Amino acid sequence: YEHVKYYTNAFIVRDQEILLGFKKRGFGQHKYNGFGGKVEPGESSLEAATRELKEEAGISANLEHAGVLFFISEGEQKAFHIDIYRAEEYTGTITETDEMRPEWFSFQETSVGEEQSSSLPAIPYDRMWEDDLHWMPLLLARRKFAGRVDFRKQDGKLSKWWFGTVVS
Ligand code: 6U4
Ligand code: NA
Ligand code: NA
């Protein structure tokens, strides 16, 4: 068998605002993303997500499972399973760490000619992982989702993707 590694990614999503972190070092450096990392041995995915949110943003939240991503890279023996979590409320003070600089973004939709009433910048998709554009709208709409993304070997860009919303 090939190998699968479990990761988490957590977002604070309020009315029309989302908290992202600017990754200062390591994997995904200089990209905006949620807060998360590897699930450590003996830890559940929820425990890992809660721990990483605290480590990277300084806050605690009652996280709700929001979706699953499965990433495969051409020619790699490792695939990534990422549990996405969301919370509206948090406790503690949002804190910049060595790894992440947290920042709020707005996701309100404005129609043509309408004044943008938020002073926050819009979600910076051009400075995020390419796949985020495909599932972030589902996260913001509070629709549970699952998706698979295949990355190309040469340049790490998406070669194939599939996303669905969860039906019960
Ligand atoms: P260590 O080794 O402890 O510093 P750790 O914090 O465990 O690392 P890290 O920061 O490398 O893990 O975690 C990577 C983060 O990036 C996880 O939250 C998953 C996320 N991630 C990776 N590829 C992604 C992608 N294509 N799209 C996305 N998030 C991705 O939205
Ligand atoms: Na991390
Ligand atoms: Na970690």
pLDDT in the model for residue 139: 97
Q: State how far the alpha carbon of 90 is from the alpha carbons of 12, 36, 125, in Å.
A: 8, 16, 24
Phi then psi for 114, rounded to 5 degrees?
A: -80, 140
Q: Amino acid letter at 135?
A: W
pLDDT for residue 118: 78
Q: What is the 3-class SS of 9-20, one letter each residue? A: EEEEECCCEEEE
First to last CA, the chain: 31
Which among 6, 7, 126, 145 is the best mutation to test ligand 1's pocket, defined by most ligand atoms within 8 Å of the CB? 7
Q: What is the pLDDT of residue 168?
A: 86
pLDDT of residue 111: 61
145 lines ligand 1 (CB under 6 A): no
**21 Cα to the center of ligand 3, angstroms:** 15
Q: Which atom belonging to ligand 1 lies closest to the Cα atom of 28?
A: 16
Q: Of ligand 1's atoms, which has the minimum distance to the CA of residue 9?
A: 18
The confidence score (pLDDT) of residue 115 equals 66
Q: How much is the pLDDT for 123?
A: 96
For residue range 64-81, what is the model confidence (pLDDT) as tens digits?
999 999 999 988 899 999
Mean pLDDT of the chain: 94
Residue nearest to atom 8 of ligand 1 (CA): 37
Cross-strand partners of 11: 86
Which of these, 43, 42, 25, 21, lies nearest to 33 by C-alpha position?
21
Q: For atom 30 of ligand 1, which residue has the closest CA?
A: 129
The pLDDT profile of the chain, 168 residues, written as one tens digit per residue, is: 899 999 999 999 998 999 999 999 999 999 999 999 999 999 999 999 999 999 999 999 999 999 999 999 988 899 999 999 999 999 999 999 999 999 999 997 656 666 667 789 999 999 999 999 999 999 999 999 999 999 998 888 999 999 999 998
Ligand 1 atom nearest residue 132's Cα:
31
DSSP H helices, the chain, are: 45-57, 132-140
SS3 of 35, please? Answer: strand
